[in-house]
Amino acid sequence: MMRAAVVMAALLLAACGEVDQAKQGAGVERGDQAAYTGAHGTIPAKGWQAGNRGAWEKQIRSRGQLQNEYNRIAR
């Protein structure tokens, strides 16, 4: 009886845990391609090669600096 109650409680609480929601969670392939792999049929920004993760990250950081107008004016 006690054993059955423990098993029942374990089953009932099984849904209370956190679900791994990373792109490739436990046993889950969400089918999204990484951004650094590039996109077909589009005109990419210049200065990086699709498929090169390091180049893509460098591109994103350098493009982010275009939002910094202090880089464009004399201080």
Partner 1 sequence: MARMKFICDTERCIECNSCATACKNEHEVPWGVNRRRVVTINDGVIGQEKSVSVACMHCSDAPCMAVCPVDCFYRTDEGVVLHNKDACIGCGYCSYACPFGAPQFPSNGTFGLRGKMDKCTFCAGGPEENGSPEEFEKYGRNRLSEGKLPACAEMCSTKALLGGDGDVVADIFRTRVITRGKGSEVWGWGTAYGNKPQQDSVNQEMAK
Give 20's contacts (C-beta < 8 A, 6+ positions apart). Answer: 26, 28
Cβ neighbours of residue 51 under 8 Å, at least 6 residues apart? 36, 37, 38
**CA 48 to CA 38: how far, in whole Å?**
10
Number of shown-chain residues binding partner 1 (CB under 8 A): 37
Considering only residues 11 through 70, tell me which ones interact with partner 1, judged by CB under 8 A: 18-19, 21-23, 25, 30-45, 47-48, 56-57, 59-61, 63-70
For partner 1, give the closer residue by CB, 4 or 19: 19
Binding region for partner 1 (CB under 8 A): 18-19, 21-23, 25, 30-45, 47-48, 56-57, 59-61, 63-70
